[in-house]
């Protein structure tokens, strides 16, 4: 039992079980939709967690990459006549390119300076999306054509549940493998001390850039799914608040915990849906819960609970 609990892919196994068993308790299409949203944000959060939890680099602009993915699948089919799957792949490729180009200069910045630079980057994208109305429909946003492969279009919340769940699980397994690879160990070394990592012969700049690009692709894919799920996107998808939300998901669930990113995403996607019954008190409750979780479960929900379980 202990061996299983400590196995590298145990989190992936546990999360797969959740994915397969969930449909037994989901009562309606609405719940499938919410669950799909959870997986979408969890995917983005896993990518950001690689950057924040392992390499120790903060990004307050990752929603910008979600925006690239989202607008790629909206603009590609509408204005460029691309098939939606090609726009989807193209969006991810574009995000990787942008992350590479932007990451090279700004990853030299450290700590809060990196935070403000990424924040500026995300803001620039959001401003561009809301002002280039010819392509993006401006602040009102634009419609997203249905996702279709070889003439088969995807419709219905259940179909999206399985697609997003499978994508999330693939993303999670890739992340878990990356963490245990030499690259993952190098990233953790950078997190502990950049100087020490450099002394050990790790190419710090290259490693940081690589993980930044990977996390951008995760966010972009999540952004594309988000656009498909909603059928309509606005510049808010890449806004500052969205970026903050992603960071909050990672930290609430647990920095450096892949399963934590799923829990964090579930918390922040579902809380507003449940709290609407509180009407005006919704935001107060949300803020209070975020503060309480961080004060009492400092290491994040999953790592704190896992430690408690192991001790028990």
Partner 1 sequence: MTELLQFAFSGLTVGAVYALVALGFTLIYNSCDVINFAQGEFVMLGGMTAVFLGLAGVPLPLAACLAVVLTVAVGLALHRFAIEPARGSGAVVLIIITIGASIFLRGAAQVIFDKRFHTLPPFVGGDAIRIAGAAILPQSLVVLAGAVIILVLLWAFIERTLIGKAMVATAANEIAARLVGIDTRAAVGLSFAISAAIGAVAGILITPVALTSYDVGSLLALKGFAAAMLGGIGSAVGAVIGGLVLGLLEAFAAGYVSSQYKDAVAFLVILIVLLAMPRGLFGRAPVERV
209 binds partner 1 (CB under 8 A): no
Rounding to the nearest 10 degrees, give the CA dihedral for residues 284, 290, 293, 295. -90
Between 170 and 288, name the residue whose CB sits nearer to partner 1.
Answer: 288
Pair of tokens at residue 206: 């290259």
Let me know: does 234 contact 120? Beta carbons within 8 Å: no
8 binds partner 1 (CB under 8 A): no
**Which of 25, 295, 309, 312 lies at the binding interface for partner 1 (CB under 8 A)?**
295
Q: Which of 263, 307, 272 has its CA nearest to residue 41?
A: 263
Residue 282 CB-half CA count within 13 A:
11
Q: Give CA separation, 303 vs 4, 73, 186, 251, 258, in Å.
A: 17, 36, 21, 11, 10
131 binds partner 1 (CB under 8 A): yes
Give least dist CB 209 to partner 1, A.
15
The whole-angstrom separation of Cα 243 and Cα 237 is 9
Q: Which of 165, 141, 308 has its CA nearest to residue 238?
A: 141
Between 99 and 144, name the residue whose CB sits nearer to partner 1.
Answer: 99
The whole-angstrom separation of Cα 277 and Cα 272 is 9
Answer left, alpha or beta for residue 202, where phi above 0 means left and psi between -120 and 50 means alpha: beta
List binders of partner 1 among 27-56 (CB under 8 A).
52
Between 185 and 191, name the residue whose CB sits nearer to partner 1.
Answer: 191
List binders of partner 1 among 78-117 (CB under 8 A).
105-106, 108-113, 115-117
**Which of 96, 165, 190, 251 lies at the binding interface for partner 1 (CB under 8 A)?**
251
Give least dist CB 55 to partner 1, A.
13
Q: Which stretch binds partner 1 (CB under 8 A): 67-75, 160-168, 222-230, 250-258?
A: 250-258
**Which of 146, 283, 307, 310 lies at the binding interface for partner 1 (CB under 8 A)?**
283
201 DSSP assignment: T
Residue appearing with tokens 């942008």: 98
Give least dist CB 281 to partner 1, A.
6
**Which of 252, 259, 263, 302 lies at the binding interface for partner 1 (CB under 8 A)?**
252
300 DSSP assignment: -
**Which of 42, 43, 55, 58 lies at the binding interface for partner 1 (CB under 8 A)?**
58
Residues of this chain that interact with partner 1 (CB under 8 A) are 52, 58, 105-106, 108-113, 115-117, 119-121, 123-124, 127-128, 130-131, 193-196, 199, 240-241, 244, 247-248, 251-252, 255, 280-291, 294-295, 298
């Amino acid at each position: 039992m202990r061996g299983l609990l400590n196995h590298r892919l145990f989190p992936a196994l546990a999360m797969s079980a959740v994915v397969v068993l969930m449909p037994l308790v989901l009562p309606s299409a609405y719940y499938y939709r919410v669950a799909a949203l959870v997986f979408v944000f969890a995917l983005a959060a896993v990518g950001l967690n690689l950057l924040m939890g392992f390499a120790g680099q903060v990004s307050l602009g990752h929603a910008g990459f979600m925006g690239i993915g989202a607008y790629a699948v909206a603009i590609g089919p509408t204005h460029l006549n691309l098939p939606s799957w090609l726009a989807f792949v193209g969006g991810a490729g574009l995000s990787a390119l942008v992350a590479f180009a932007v990451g090279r200069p700004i990853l030299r910045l450290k700590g809060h300076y990196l935070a403000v630079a990424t924040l500026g980057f995300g803001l620039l994208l959001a401003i561009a999306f809301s002002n280039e109305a010819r392509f993006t429909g401006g602040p009102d946003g634009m419609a997203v054509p249905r996702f279709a492969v070889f003439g088969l279009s995807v419709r219905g919340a259940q179909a999206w549940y399985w697609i997003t769940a499978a994508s999330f699980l693939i993303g999670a397994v890739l992340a878990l493998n990356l963490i245990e690879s030499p690259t993952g160990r190098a990233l953790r070394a950078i997190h502990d001390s950049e100087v020490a990592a450099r002394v050990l012969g790790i190419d710090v700049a290259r490693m940081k850039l690589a993980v930044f690009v990977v996390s951008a692709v995760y966010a972009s894919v999540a952004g594309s799914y988000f656009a498909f799920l909603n059928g309509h996107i606005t510049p808010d998808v890449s806004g500052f608040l969205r970026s903050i939300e992603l960071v909050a998901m990672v930290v609430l669930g647990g920095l450096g915990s892949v399963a934590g990113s799923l829990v964090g995403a579930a918390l922040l996607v579902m809380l507003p849906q449940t709290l609407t019954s509180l009407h005006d008190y919704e935001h107060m409750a949300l803020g209070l819960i975020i503060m309480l979780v961080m004060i009492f479960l400092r290491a994040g929900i999953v790592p704190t609970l896992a430690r408690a379980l192991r001790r028990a």
